[in-house]
Amino acid sequence: MIDAALLPLQRRVLLPPARWLAARGVRADQITVAGFLVGALCLPALAFGLPGLALGFIALNRVMDGLDGAVARLTGPTDRGAFLDIALDFVFYALVPLGFALSDPAQNALPAAVLIAGFVGTGSSFLTFATIAAKRGLAADAYPSKGIYYLSGLTEGAETIALFVVICLWPGLFPALAYAFAAACAVTTVTRWRQGWVVFAPEKN
């Protein structure tokens, strides 16, 4: 919901380190893969009851997720980079609730499953819309530099990371917040389904 508003600030902050990395031959794809591997460490950290450490890994992942795009804009974006960025992000998002489920199955397993189902809804509607939008040559005005069509919604990247921060700081709130965020994801999914229904309606002769 607020990703487009935050994008200009993110670019200004990350441009200097991106220039430093690009000048030393660091490629965007390398940052993407490294960022995912760092972020994936949140899974064992959460499973072993270390949410503070997990939050550090999540923060590093998000910084590197922004840096890969900044470096790509300096060196030239690629289709492989766009693919890796989105594909790895969705797996990373699922690892956080999975980590909470492993840490306390009795309390967290069901809300984690519901939250992951919510992520599947938002992710599948996002990617399906982007696929057909690309086929029709459509572009998102709010995200002109993105490698694929970015369809906005109630729950986007910023809101998801805000959730991760809160549940890592107050892990006891995970069940309630997981259910609440899953409900918000359902709203996002339904609104995207409606957008697809309207935008991709057959043309009348």
Domains of the chain from N-terminus onward: 3-199 (1.20.120.1760)
Q: How confident is the model at residue 143 (pLDDT cuts 50, 70, 90)?
A: very low
The single residue listed with the structure tokens 């709130």 is 173
In this predicted model, what pLDDT tens digit does every residue of 65-86 receive, in sequence order? 999 989 999 998 888 998 999 9
What letter represents residue 136's amino acid? R
Q: Report, as an integer, the average pLDDT of 43-66.
A: 96
DSSP string, 47-68: HTT-HHHHHHHHHHHHHHHHHH
DSSP 8-state symbol, 25:
T
194: amino acid identity, one letter: R
Residue 12: band (very low, low, confident or very high) from pLDDT cuts 50, 70, 90: confident
